[in-house]
Amino acid sequence: MNTIAEIPTEEKVEVERLKQRGDVKTALEQAGAQKESALPMAETRDKVWFSGFALFLVGIAALYYLVTFRVFGFTDETVALLQRIVKVAFLVVLVLGVAKVSEVYLIGRMNDAVSRYNLKRIQRLAVALLLAFMAVSILFVNWYTAVLSLGLISLILGFALQTPITSFIGWIYIMVRAPYRVGDRIKIGEASGDVIDVSYLDTTLWEFGGQYLSTDHPTGRTIKFPNSKVLNSAVYNYTWPLFPYVWNEIKFNVAYESDLEFVAKTMQEVAEQELGEAMMERVRVYRRLLAQTPVDELEVRERPSVLFRVSNNTWVEAIVRYLVHPKEGGRVKTRLIKELLAKLTAAPDRVLFPKSNLR
């Protein structure tokens, strides 16, 4: 594999710029690339928080034993109430401390700012619910009864809200693992389209292709599916951040007597001219990114290639293969077909196409 030091200066700068993007960083990590960033470090204010939590825990523990040994001379009822209050305070501080550690050292390791924000929001909601339950159960009811009641309620809600809960878990998976994000072109199950919204319970696609179109053009319809589908279905993402291109092919049938060298040269030149040097340069840059993953970037050629294959009939298939952005595939293919036909039919003595009833 090529190293960064071997890349020309312009490409090196572009590769480093792309590597700073959150989605590219995430994709590199998921692809097994070596991480260059160090583990997150706690800031000074975070260290102050941790010290404060530790001091509070020590102070609350000391207060609990002072109350238990009746140092202050309280009645039995007062001692029992104070013990419950101190227990609540201890658990509140402990839960907040664990949540802070998780926010700094777990969620803080994520490169994508959107995912960090969403996970922090989910964690804070879970912490708030947990604290409320602990306060009510310890202060006002018997702990054992509260646990049994919570278990029964959870069981009932689990059956009643199974699909929404699974979809919410699917949303968390999408935020963390990022199999797709808004703007990506994907296929999942029978649905294919551009992602236009990812909510807590479902995902919305702007459909392309579909049953009424033979090309990858938007149909005008939207598709909604529950986020739970991502947990048990294969997701095809056509716009992977590390390589947002797909291979397309155009093939023509030509006779064995055709000048195949001329055909290959013409098809290659037309494809390169249509795609443009800027497009091929972008592909070259992304190929350098792939060099930092287990993917063999040598198989990724920025320039179109032409190959021949014997057809099932009495003709030879001339195929031009090229890279294109998935959302531009239809338009590029249409322009290429027009240009290729114009160039090849302009040399009838060198390129023989099927005619009349031989087509």
Q: What is the DSSP string of 121-157?
A: HHHHHHHHHHHHHHHHHHHHS-HHHHHHHHHHHHHHH
Q: Identify which of 175, 289, 291, 176 has the alpha carbon closest to the alpha carbon of residue 241.
A: 289
> Do 256 and 228 belong to one domain?
no
Nearest-10 crossing angle of helices 162-177, 143-160: 90
Residue 243 is given by DSSP the state B
Binned at pLDDT 50, 70 and 90, residue 1 comes out as very low
The pLDDT assigned to 34 comes to: 47
C-beta separation of 311 from 305 below 8 A? no
The pLDDT assigned to 355 comes to: 74
Instruction: Please give the tally of structural domains in the chain.
Output: 3
> Do 203 and 228 belong to one domain?
yes
Binned at pLDDT 50, 70 and 90, residue 204 comes out as very high
In a domain, 170, yes or no: no
DSSP structure string for 64-88 = HHHHHTTTT---HHHHHHHHHHHHH
> Do 143 and 190 belong to one domain?
no
Average pLDDT of 109-134?
A: 73
* pLDDT tens for each residue of 68-107: 776 666 777 777 777 777 777 778 888 888 888 888 777 7
d(CA 7, CA 285): 9
Domain boundary among 237, 259, 284: 237
The least confident of 34-38, 71-75, 115-119, 240-244 is: 34-38
d(CA 216, CA 209): 5
Is 35 or 204 the better-scoring residue by pLDDT? Answer: 204
Q: What angle do CA 179, 172, 44 make, to 5 degrees?
A: 105
* pLDDT tens for each residue of 4-31: 445 566 666 666 666 666 666 666 665 5
- How are beta strands 246-254 and 316-324 bridged, if at all? antiparallel
> Do 335 and 233 belong to one domain?
no
The pLDDT assigned to 141 comes to: 53
Q: Is the pLDDT of residue 266 over 50?
A: yes
The pLDDT assigned to 277 comes to: 81
Q: Is the pLDDT of residue 334 over 60?
A: yes
The pLDDT assigned to 129 comes to: 78
> Do 144 and 51 belong to one domain?
yes
Averaged pLDDT of the chain = 78
Is 104 or 273 the better-scoring residue by pLDDT? Answer: 273
Domain boundary among 160, 190, 207: 160
C-beta separation of 111 from 168 below 8 A? no
**Domain, as residue range, for 146:** 44-160
Q: Is the pLDDT of residue 3 over 50?
A: no
The pLDDT assigned to 340 comes to: 94
CATH code, domain with 202: 2.30.30.60
Q: Where are the alpha helices (DSSP H) in 276-352?
A: 277-290, 329-345
In a domain, 17, yes or no: no
Average pLDDT of 195-204?
A: 89
Task: Map residue 192 onto helix, strand or coil.
Answer: strand
Q: Which residues of 294-314 are buried (b: 16+ CB within 10 A; e: fewer)?
A: ebebeebbbebbbeeeeeeee
CATH code, domain with 279: 3.30.70.100
Phi, psi of 159 (to 5 degrees): -70, -40
Beta bridge partners of 205: 195, 223
